[in-house]
Every structure is written in C-alpha cells, then in structure tokens.
Structure 1
Amino acid sequence: MKPISVETLCTIVDGKHIHGSSIGIHYGAYRLKQVKRRNTVLFIEKRIMNWAKLAPCFPLVLVTEWHYHTKELPNEVTVIQVERSEEALWKFIHFYRQQFQLPVVAITGTAGKTTTKEMIKHILMRYKKVTATQLSTNSRTAFFQYLLSIESDTEAAVFETAVGAPGDLHQAGKYYKPTIGIITNIGEHHLNYCKTLEGYIDAKAEMLEILDENSVLIINGEDRNTSKIDFQKFKGRLIKIGTKSSNDFAATNIRYSTNGMEFVVVHKGEHHKVNVTGFGKHQVMNALAAIVAVVEMGLTIPQAAGQLQTYRPLNKQLQLFEGMNDALLLDDTWSITTTSLEAALTVLNELAGGKKRIAIIGTITDVGSWGTFIHKKAAEIVLEKGVDILITVGEHAKIIADHAEELGIQAQVYRFINSVLAYELLKVIIDRNTIILIKGDMYSKTMFDLASKLKKKT
C-alpha cells in the first residue's frame, strides 16, 4: 500500500480525528481478521470489545461510525469518526485507485482464469514491476487487499475476477477499474447463484460494463456461449482470438511437443512461433490471451513468446506423471467444470497413442439444484470424447456413470463412493499400456489422495 497520513485520510473520508496520535498508515482492512500488521487502518461500523486481541497490531487507526468513550480506547488506537463506515471505505477505495495510472487486467471465465493470469504475470515480470492475485484466491473479500497491493512503483496489475454470483464483476470493477478485460470462455458453472446458463452468461457479461471507452476486451472468438453476449453495447475496443484467420490474433499449426504445445501466432500478416508448457488446445488459448494482453501493454509478440518458454504450469493442472505400474497419469485435480472436463478428456485422447484410456471423475461442485443436469452433461462429454474405462468417485459423480450407461457407452463403468475401493481396482487394471486422467476439485481430499497414490513412488 502507498502510505498515507491520518490527516490525509480524514480529508478523503470526510472524517474527524477524535482520538490518538497521527501516524503513518501502511495497510488497510475492513474486517477484524484482516488486521495482521501494525499501522493498519480498519474501516468498521461495529464496536470493538476485545482490544487485547488487536494489541499486537498497535498502533491502529479506526475509521468508524461507532461513538466510543475516550476512556475505553487504548492510547495506541487512533480514531477517525465518520457518519457511515461503509461510505468512508468506498471513498478511500476510489481515492486510492485514482492515484495510479497503469494497465490493470481483469480476467474472468469458466476455465483458464488462473493459468492466463499466471502467464501474463510471468511474461511481465521480466519487464515491469507487477502485482497480481495469488493462485486462484479471487473472492470478493480479497479485492481490497489486492487493490492495496498496488504501490508507487507498480507498473502493471493482473487480477483474476471470478463470478460466483451476479454482481461479482461489478464489485470487482469498483475496486480495480480495469483497463484490459479478458473473458477466457463461458461454460456451465456457478448455477447455484446464477440460476440459469443465461444468468451465468449475463454475470460474465458484466465485464463489458466495468471497462470504459479507452479499454480493451479480449475474448475467444470461437467460444459458443461468449458469442451470445451483445458486444454492440461495449464502448471500448474488442479483440478476438482463436484458431481461425477471421480473429484478430490466430493460433495456427498447433501441435503437441515433449512438454507442452507449439503453435504459430498470426497477427497482421506476421507469423511468430510460440512454445508453451502444458497440454491441450485450451492451453494454447490461454497463452494467446496472455500474449495479446501484454502486447496491449507495449511488449512485442517475440518478447512474450520468449518468456513463455520458461513458464511452468501450476500443480495439478493436467500435469503428466509416471504412474503406478508404469502407467501414465494426468493429474487434473485443480478444479472441475464441464468445460475443463472436456478439455482434459481431449488431452487424454491426444496423448493416449493407442494406450488404454481410464478417466477417474469426481463430483462437480457449485452447481446447486442443477447438479443432476450438470453431471448428466458431463456423462455426455465422456461419451462424445470416448474412454475405455470410466470410474466415478463420489455420491453425485455416480450420476455421470449412471447416465453414461443409459446413453449406451461402450466403456467399462465403475462407480465408488470413496477412493479406497477405486484404488484397489486400479492396482489390478493399470499397466504400462495405460494412461489415466484423474479429474477433480482442489477441495476434494478424496481425489487429492487418490492422485497421490497413483503416482509412481521414487
């Protein structure tokens, strides 16, 4: 955070300094559990009862609407009185963001958000001072801290902006005021709050409203659901990426290499070869979106391509390992949606090379009352892509197995409530002529443990 004084903060929030000394403010919070360091300003409307718990973080500045008696306040607590704490917080947020003129990227999408963000950060780190979201921590409660991570010497910011419910992108826009937006793709997810696919698409389309006329929006020009958005109301510049020449940036000559993908970026008649670690066409699209974003920040395609050669994917994102009994193992237990499942099964088939294909699939979460529909959709994807053996783990994942059999799948099908019996089966049926995809959620200990057991012990 760029430090400010108590006097300056009083002016920003229209507050009155009623207690304590004037100190430099270096951190910000609006929840008690966010206070972790000295010299923090805490925006809070509730009365604080337990000062001892906060004592390690003194001196502390409170911006509050609560009227304290002077005697109940510790000496090292400075109080700025305001009419409404929430209103004061937003005044501070707007002030803080307006201090910085720099490119800010906001990334949303059903799949590929974290990877695209990590690629952009990796490319930029050689050339600029960058701040970014950590891994996939992207909830509303994290927005404030990420905004404050922009400091005087920050030259670019890259923020992942997930959509769990309508309004999430609007909220992110109030904090970040992005100059570059990216929609990686739109599948079927978070229907527990968005209610319908159309509602989910509308929630993603909020990206258009948080970008101004001087901004840029990067989209996959070949994504079916993204194309349902009405882009005519977008005031900025729209850039389409994909594999077809009709896109502004096209990825051509896509092929698998030893550790990832090779492709050629075609833009304005020029051709640039790119290598990126990580398997699948979806990885190419992630890399292409990252390249376009950094080009918009002044870098060249060769500069971006050079940096991507040293990019390393995050753990559990279609990582290829030597597996038990000399099988090959694709660990994709970072997250699971129908979009990422389709991508993972495509990679499984393209790497199989005649090997027996086993797909182990866990429960798809965050779908609410749409659970049955989404799991049946997953079964249709499995049927379309094809596997030799389908194993589901979890009570709801059983719907995938059941529906796949109803649809007439030719594969052997097994369903297990937990991973114990699944592992016993796998010990018997896998060998060096097998490739396994394990697809689950990072919060599923069952799938996490099973993936670990299936890796070859060295």
Structure 2
Amino acid sequence: MKTLLLENILTAMNIQPHEKQKGIRIETVTDDRSEISSHTLYFRFNNSEVPVERIKKYKNVFIVTDTSFSNMESLHPMQIIMVKNLKDSFFKFTSYYRHLFNIPVVAITGTCGKSTTKEMLKHILEDTHNVQATISSKNADYYNLSYLLGIEEDTDVAVFETAVSKKGDMTESCKYFYPTIGILTMIDVDHTDKIRSFDRYLAEKAKIMQGMNNEGILILNSDDPYLSSIDTSKFKGEIITFGKNKNAIFRIKRYQYTSSGMNFWMEYMQSEYRGYIPGLGEHSVYNSVAAVAAAAMLGVDIQYSLNRLSSYPHMRSHFQVMEGRNQITLVDDTWKSNPASLRKGLETLSRIALPSQRKIAVLGRMAALGKYADEEYEKAGHLIASSGVDILITKGFIAKDFQKPAIEAGVNPHNVYHFSEPDEMKRFFDSFLRPNDIVYFKTGGNDSDFDDVIEYLRS
C-alpha cells in the first residue's frame, strides 16, 4: 500500500480533518481488526468489538465507525472518526485510493475460465510489466481491499477476477477496482442458490459494463449464446470479440490436440498467428485467445503474447493430467464443478482417451445450483452417457443424483458405483483398476477426500 496522509483520506470521505489529524502517515488501511498496528486506519464493520487495550500500545491508530463501542472513551477523541454511513465512507476511500493511480485495470468475469484467463494474461505481462493480480482463484469479496491496496507507485497494470455469487457482487467489486478493460469469458448456470434465476445471474455479470461507467474496452466471447443476448447498447466504449465466429475480431480458426496441450491458429486484422498452450481442451484455446486479446489492448505484440503462452504453467487441478501407478492415467479437474465446467471436462476426456482405455469418471457434487439442480443433474447424467464414460463413480449423497439419468441414457448400471468415504474408494480402486485406465476426478464441494484419493493413486 502507498503511504497516505490521514488528512487526505478524511478529505476524500468529505470529513474536515482536525488540526491534530494533519501530517499523520497512514501505512495500513483495513477492515480486519487483527491487522491493526501503528499508522492504521481501521473501518469497523458489523459492530465488531474493538481491541482498545491493544490499540493503546500502537501509535496513530484511527477507527472509522458509525456506532459507539465499548471503552471508546479510553481512546483519544481524535482517534475516533464517526461517520453517518460507514459503507459509503469506505467506498469513498476505495475510490480515492484507486484513482491515485492512472493505470489500466482488467476485470475478468464469467462462469468458467476467470482464473485461467487471468493467470494467462498475468503470465504474458509479468516479464515486461509490474502486475498486481488476484491470487490463484481467491476472488471472494473479502479479498478485494487487499488486492486494491496492492497497487503501488511501481504498478503498471492490475488484473483482477470479479466473481459473482450473490446480488451486488459485481457492482461492489467495481467500486474497488474501477476497471478500464472488462472480459466476459462465458456464461452458464452457477451460483443460482443465492441468485434465484439464471436471467438475474446473467444480468449481474453484465453489470460489469455499469461498473466501467460504460467506457473503456469490453472483451466478449462471441460464440457464447448467453453473452450474445446481453444488451450492450449503453456501452460507449470499444467492444472486442473473440471466438470461432467468422465475425469475431480475434478469430479462432482451428485447433489441434497434442499429448500435453493445444496447438491453435487465430486471426486478427487479416493476419494469422499460430500458438500453443499447455493444457488440454477447447476451453484452453478460448481462454488463451481472450488473454491475447486483452494483452493486445494493452499494447502487447500478439506474437510476443503467443510465445509467452507456450511457457504458461498450467493451473493445478484444472484438467491436470498426471501419471498414476500401474500405468493408469489420472485427470485432476477438481478445482470446481458446475454444469459448464463438467461439460468441458467430459468433452475433453472423450477427446484424449484412447479407444483401448476405460474411461472412469469419479464425480462429486456440482455446487450452488439452487432450483436448477434437478434439471442440471439430469442433463449431466445424459452427458456422462453421450461422452462415452465406461464407469461412473459418485462420492457423497448429492452426487448420487448423477446416477439415475446416466443409467437411463445408456450407462451400464453394473458399471455405476457410489461411495461415501475415501478409504472405501481406495480399497475399490486397489482391486478394480487395470493398466491403461484413465480416471477423471471432478467435484465442486472443496472435498479434500478427492485430493487424498488422487494422491493415493499417483505414481
């Protein structure tokens, strides 16, 4: 975080600083009381208990609050910054801090591909730029302040995921980051446990345009039917499209599977380029081209971007292929599971499996589907059958919902199994697996049992 003067922060929050509050350095701004130390401005949300006795040991600690708290009188009155609306004051601060830096900020959203596209773009940029970015897939709203404050004087560009799991998430994220470039990767059913309808979920994602003040650059997957349906008429900036669609500005011409990744050919401004990305699946190509498009909008040469992507370190548990013991192949795709990512995973499994291999799918639950759960599990069961899965294994009582529709769609019921505990699965695999099997793991429940079983089966 850039060191600030308290008086400038207060002025940004429309508070007239007292003389005794002038000239004081603020080195930490936080809403987490455990992070309070000297030279800290603490925003007290949820009427949290204030560690007054600990604060007394530090120098220049100031508390922004809209209600009184225990032992408040034992602190110096100048340390208490009483406001009418704490959230409003907080976002005045985030706006002030963000606008201290005239840098491009890329915000990436979508149902799938956010983390991968962000990591790809970061990888393209980081040899020539100082990049502030979301860490891995840690994109929940409580990380936003620390990501914002990670922007400093030497930051050249910021690349953030803006996730949507409930109403208001997109608008709030944009009040931290004020993106200048937005990327929408693809949309499908997800997080409909808290956002009750798919249309509202789609609308929530589309609010990235409002968050950009309908300016800047919007990068859209032109092959996605749901993204094609969003209203962009109020967006006054530039819209850049990518995909296989013949009208896409960054057009995917074709792609080719290799043993460890994807060769692909793309066209931009009537020039054709060839790239390679470690990581299997059509979705890897889409994510790559989205990252290349964003980098181009930042002034990066396309061939340079493609050269950088060839050394991209594939993300853990994102269709990660590894060698298992006794000549089996393991695919760890357990980072998340929703209808779109499961579909992409099974399609990719079907493409890479050899005719001689038994395709074994080990599935945990899909997360956060709400009223769409029954419909989506039925669709997934049919997909399991149509993708040629030979053996279906489910783990956990919710995942058992894959079984009935899969059997109805043609999976042999004698090849369907269910387990509750990892030790049961290990014992089963000890006697069941054959050399040359390919075993695909997928779950959306943050289930460490899957990690345990995968590690058990590794070479």
Shared fold per TM-score greater than 0.5 = yes
Separation in 1, partners of 2:224, 2:398: 28
Q: Deviations along 1:405-455, whole A, 9 cap, x unmatched?
A: 133334722122333323322222322221111111362122221222121
Task: List aligned pairs for 1:28-427, cutoff 5 A.
Answer: 28-33=29-34, 35=35, 37-44=37-44, 46=47, 48-54=49-55, 58-66=59-67, 72-73=74-75, 78-354=79-355, 355-410=357-412, 412-427=415-430
Separation in 2, partners of 1:136, 1:212: 26
Q: 1:66, CA displacement in angstroms?
A: 4.5
What amino acid is aligned across from residue 265 of structure 1 in structure 2?
A: M
Query: Is the 1:334–1:442 Cα contact (8 Å) retained in structure 2?
Result: no
Query: Is the 1:321–1:330 Cα contact (8 Å) retained in structure 2?
Result: yes
Separation in 2, partners of 1:67, 1:17: 20
Query: Is the 1:17–1:81 Cα contact (8 Å) retained in structure 2?
Result: no
Query: Is the 2:251–2:266 Cα contact (8 Å) retained in structure 1?
Result: yes
Q: 1:107, CA displacement in angstroms?
A: 0.6
Residue 453 (structure 1) aligned with residue 456 (structure 2): yes
Q: 1:21, CA displacement in angstroms?
A: 8.3
SS of structure 1 residue aligned to 2:166: coil
Larger displacement relative to structure 2 (313-322 or 243-252): 243-252
What amino acid is aligned across from residue 43 of structure 1 in structure 2?
A: F
Separation in 2, partners of 1:70, 1:399: 54
Q: Deviations along 1:9-63, whole A, 9 cap, x unmatched?
A: 2322233448778531122112424x25542211226475432455676542222
Instruction: Flag the 1:442–1:155 CA change in 2: closer, same or farther, 3 A.
Output: farther
Instruction: Flag the 1:380–1:18 CA change in 2: closer, same or farther, 3 A.
Output: farther
Q: 1:174, CA displacement in angstroms?
A: 1.6
Q: 1:158, CA displacement in angstroms?
A: 0.5
Separation in 2, partners of 1:422, 1:203: 40
Query: Is the 1:357–1:387 Cα contact (8 Å) retained in structure 2?
Result: yes
The number of residue pairs the alignment matches comes to: 454
Instruction: Flag the 1:414–1:54 CA change in 2: closer, same or farther, 3 A.
Output: farther
Query: Is the 2:365–2:445 Cα contact (8 Å) retained in structure 1?
Result: no
Separation in 2, partners of 1:178, 1:49: 33
SS of structure 2 residue aligned to 1:212: coil
TM-score by length of 2: 0.92
Separation in 2, partners of 1:308, 1:112: 15
Query: Is the 2:113–2:185 Cα contact (8 Å) retained in structure 1?
Result: yes
Q: 1:361, CA displacement in angstroms?
A: 0.7
Larger displacement relative to structure 2 (370-379 or 96-105): 370-379
Larger displacement relative to structure 2 (153-162 or 213-222): 213-222
Larger displacement relative to structure 2 (62-71 or 444-453): 62-71
Residue 5 (structure 1) aligned with residue 5 (structure 2): yes
What amino acid is aligned across from residue 258 of structure 2 in structure 1?
A: S
Separation in 2, partners of 1:258, 1:55: 61
Separation in 2, partners of 1:191, 1:80: 39
Separation in 2, partners of 1:407, 1:55: 68
Q: 1:278, CA displacement in angstroms?
A: 0.7
Aligned CA-pair RMSD: 2.3
What amino acid is aligned across from residue 218 of structure 1 in structure 2?
A: I
Q: 1:70, CA displacement in angstroms?
A: 7.7
Q: Deviations along 1:125-155, whole A, 9 cap, x unmatched?
A: 1111110111111112222221111111211
Residue 440 (structure 1) aligned with residue 451 (structure 2): no
Separation in 2, partners of 1:21, 1:218: 44
Q: Percent identity?
A: 31
Query: Is the 2:83–2:89 Cα contact (8 Å) retained in structure 1?
Result: yes
TM-score by length of 1: 0.92
Query: Is the 1:274–1:305 Cα contact (8 Å) retained in structure 2?
Result: yes
In structure 2, runs of 5+ residues without a counterpart are none
Q: 1:223, CA displacement in angstroms?
A: 1.3
What amino acid is aligned across from residue 90 of structure 1 in structure 2?
A: F
Q: 1:80, CA displacement in angstroms?
A: 3.4
Instruction: Flag the 1:268–1:70 CA change in 2: closer, same or farther, 3 A.
Output: closer
What amino acid is aligned across from residue 4 of structure 2 in structure 1?
A: I
SS of structure 2 residue aligned to 1:315: coil
What amino acid is aligned across from residue 440 of structure 1 in structure 2?
A: T
Q: Deviations along 1:331-375, whole A, 9 cap, x unmatched?
A: 111111111111111221111121111111111122234333332
Instruction: Flag the 1:293–1:437 CA change in 2: closer, same or farther, 3 A.
Output: same
What amino acid is aligned across from residue 410 of structure 2 in structure 1?
A: G
SS of structure 1 residue aligned to 2:233: helix
Separation in 2, partners of 1:56, 1:107: 42
What amino acid is aligned across from residue 402 of structure 1 in structure 2?
A: K
Larger displacement relative to structure 2 (321-330 or 427-436): 427-436
Query: Is the 2:390–2:411 Cα contact (8 Å) retained in structure 1?
Result: no
Q: Deviations along 1:66-92, whole A, 9 cap, x unmatched?
A: 4688850179x8343444433321221
Q: 1:200, CA displacement in angstroms?
A: 1.6
Instruction: Flag the 1:349–1:67 CA change in 2: closer, same or farther, 3 A.
Output: closer
What amino acid is aligned across from residue 4 of structure 1 in structure 2?
A: L
